Homo-oligomer: A and B are copies of this chain.
Amino acid sequence: MLSEKEENRTELNELGEFGLIDLLTDGITLVNPSSIKGVGDDAAVIDNSGFRTLVSTDLLVEGVHFDLMYTPLKHLGYKAAVVNFSDMAAMNAEPKQIVVGIAVSNRFSVEALEAFYEGLRLACTQYQVDLVGGDTTSSKSGLFISITVIGQAATDQVCYRGGAGESDLICVSGDLGGAYMGLLLLEREKAVFKADPSVQPDLDGFDYVLSRQLKPEARMDVVAALREAGVRPTSMIDISDGLASELLHLSKASALGCRIYEPKIPIDPTTVRVAEEFGMAPAVAALNGGEDYELLFTVSQADFEKIRHIESISIIGHMTANTGEVAMVTTDDQLIPLKAQGWDGLKQ
């Protein structure tokens, strides 16, 4: 498993708050014309004439959302940024700026935070997003990360959860369930390691599901492909808690029901293999696993021809007039109601 390199450890109190901020934000440059002023004042300044501004915030808590025993801090930084970008994708908008709050205990070294920021910066570079501000403070124990993302969209392009029409097609991007299978694998190896630290982790051949868990991506490419195809989804959400939970959100917000078809749910072969290893039906991983950060959206039937050629999109069902009925037709033709069983930290 991972262990922090201790030979290069600088204590946080050697730098103090402002020294740490200077170090972590050194050399950050702004790429978006709308980013007028970044880190270093009471607030960042953003110019947004003629666009809609979108804002979303996410908290990541050590021991709840991530386990540093198997999550490299650089990956954590990357993921923390990307899950926020995914919220912008879910609005059919483009992320432009982030502000980052971290509360950290003395257990962490300066180098550990630098690794976290390295991941943040990599994600920002990858997605052309500016890191424009933040707050850095201490915690009694553990690492808390708060990221707020600001995005832009043309006024007529914003997609809400509520907006699906009766009989609209239900689509998902990519494939589902992989991130959860990656998590189960990492948890299993952690348990093995705890029982006997001399055992080496056995993660060969599982790269795909591990990267789904440790290094998810926001589907800006799907947002771009839809725009290029001239399609504005009638509703959209990103899949952070599992397909079932998100379908319930879309249906409730749109005051409609929906029906999806189990055989249509896109699942990667590696996900299927790992699910079987764990004695779990792959569809259950897709429905309840969460953290895939794929997009779930609806389009008008009239747009079918425009989207059918887009490789990374699967049509998995349609909206119905039956308000409150969120159901799946299984592979053996049973109609079962879907319930939200995704991750819910407060119920743990």
Contacts and interface: CB of A to CB of B under 8 A. Distances in A.
Interface of A: 12-13, 15-18, 20, 36-37, 40-59, 61-65, 87-88, 90-91, 93, 97, 99-103, 132-142, 144, 146, 148-151, 155, 158, 160-161, 237-238, 253, 340, 344-348
B52 A137 contact: no
A137 B61 contact: yes
Nearest to A236: B42
Closest 5 CB pairs of A and B: A146-B146, A43-B56, A138-B345, A148-B148, A42-B90
B53 A144 contact: no
Copies held by the complex: 2
A91 B52 contact: no
Contacts of A49: 48-50
13 contacts: A41-B160, A41-B253, A42-B88, A43-B90, A44-B56, A46-B54, A47-B155, A55-B99, A59-B135, A64-B140, A137-B346, A144-B146, A146-B146
Contacts of A13: 346-347
A88 B43 contact: yes
A347 B16 contact: yes
Q: Which of A54, A55, A97 has the most CB of B within 10 A?
A: A55
A186 to B, nearest CB: 19
A37 B158 CA distance: 10
Contact of A146 (B16, B56, B59, B346): B59
A99 B99 CA distance: 12
B57 A134 contact: yes
A36 B305 CA distance: 32
A138 B61 contact: yes
Given A50-B49, A61-B139, A55 B43 contact: yes
Contacts of A43: 54-56, 87-88, 90-91, 93, 149, 151
A56 B150 CA distance: 11
Given A20-B346, A53-B53, A91-B42, A103 B139 contact: no
Contact of A133 (B50, B55, B138): B55
B345 A17 contact: yes
